[in-house]
Homo-oligomer: A and B are copies of this chain.
Amino acid sequence: MSHNTFGHLFRVTTWGESHGPAIGCVVDGCPPLIPLTEADIQGFMEKRKPGQSKYTTQRREPDEVKILSGVMIDEDGVQKTTGTPISLMVENTDQRSKDYSEIKDRYRPGHADYTYDAKYGIRDYRGGGRSSARETAMRVAAGAVARKVLPQVTIRAALVQVGPHKINRDNWDWSEVDNNPFFCPDREAAAFWADYLDGIRKAGSSVGAVIEVIAEGVPVGLGAPIYGKLDTELTAGLMSINAVKGVEIGNGFDAAALTGEDNADEMRIGEDGKPLFLSNNSGGILGGISNGDPIVARFAVKPTSSILTERKSVTRQGQEVDVMTKGRHDPCVGIRAVPVGEAMVACVLADHLLRHRGQVG
């Protein structure tokens, strides 16, 4: 990972600010001959798109993705990747930059306003500029391409905690995820969250969340130890998402409290004659290499920093002020992080599939 690019063989470079004319990405190193149309990508864009419910920002963008390069219609009329860089772009249409003029010289607490200004010496006050979560739209677009590289892998994510309220894991039902505006796999929790988040929203407040991503069907052997371990790069991918403060794999922080006997996933020979793990505390990764079990990663998103309550802050000029952010924002940015988490996992897995194939054949 470096600046605005991540991945080694399947490489993604993103660009664009929330209030510029467009945002985009370049997906480089994608294998050729993979059928790919804008529709393949658009479906994932819709999941992340703002303005879907009252629980996410009311900014409305069509988020129509365009493929500008790297594909070609073949003799059978099927549009396929050519192995050359795939350029994707989304135009920004609902920018309302006037909303932000008031905070032009004020650093919003919890935001990257102060650090960007301190680092670069210039302040893009228009909706956070490059630090805006709008950038994650292009991760989702790249992730849609990555999924095409991994047809045998199923990558799904769900919201498992909102504020202090966790789901009941006994209720986990993937089919529920599309039935509520929270990507929640627990119908009861979703109902509870609806009321809870309504209150948060009306109070002009916000809360954090925890997202769990599960990848099934990942072949054994992906990962490039020691510094390109699969868990390392999945963690980095998730940690790079806006507002993420923690990442764990498998049983994660809970592993600290266990004994070796309880934590080790025992093995038997399965009916297919292959090694079988009797539990999955490891989250599908041992020594940085996938073991064939579902890969399980969780990440924590902090509460949206833009809230309607005044907080103490300072200006660029060194004056003490109180800041309240009036723009359109999410009471829980964690919700829209669900498809973004899936996308990052897809990109990392696609990269490691190619890297593994490169070294080991």
| Chain A interfacial positions (CB closer than 8 Å to B) | 1-6, 8-9, 11, 13-17, 20-24, 26, 28-33, 66, 68-70, 72, 74, 80, 82-87, 107, 109-112, 114-116, 118-122, 124, 126, 129-131, 135, 161, 163-164, 200, 205-210, 220-229, 231-233, 235-236, 239-240, 245-253, 255-269, 273-275, 278, 281-283, 285-292, 300-307, 309, 311-314, 318-320, 334, 354-361
Could you tell me the distance between the alpha carbons of A69 and B114 in the complex, rounded to whole angstroms?
A: 20
Given contacts A83-B120, A235-B247, A246-B253, 14 further A-B contacts (CB under 8 A): A31-B360, A32-B359, A72-B126, A84-B120, A84-B124, A112-B286, A114-B291, A116-B289, A205-B259, A207-B260, A232-B240, A255-B300, A269-B320, A355-B358
Known: A1-B232, A319-B269. A309 touches B260 (CB 8 A): yes
Known: A253-B245, A263-B208. A122 touches B235 (CB 8 A): no
| B359 near A255: Cβ-Cβ < 8 Å | no
Shortest Cβ distance from A203 into B: residue: B259
What is the minimal beta-carbon distance from A81 to any residue of chain B, in angstroms? 8
Q: Which residues of B contact A68 (CB under 8 A)?
A: 15-16, 20-22, 24
Shortest Cβ distance from A72 into B: residue: B124
Copies in the complex: 4
Shortest Cβ distance from A85 into B: residue: B15
Could you tell me the distance between the alpha carbons of A249 and B260 in the complex, rounded to whole angstroms?
A: 26
Q: Which residues of B contact A163 (CB under 8 A)?
A: 256-259
The 3 A-B pairs of least Cβ separation, nearest first, read A112-B287, A358-B358, A246-B248
| A289 near B226: Cβ-Cβ < 8 Å | no
| A267 near B312: Cβ-Cβ < 8 Å | yes
| B31 near A359: Cβ-Cβ < 8 Å | yes
Q: Which residues of B contact A82 (CB under 8 A)?
A: 120, 122, 124, 129-130
| A229 near B221: Cβ-Cβ < 8 Å | no
| A286 near B33: Cβ-Cβ < 8 Å | no
Shortest Cβ distance from A136 into B: residue: B226
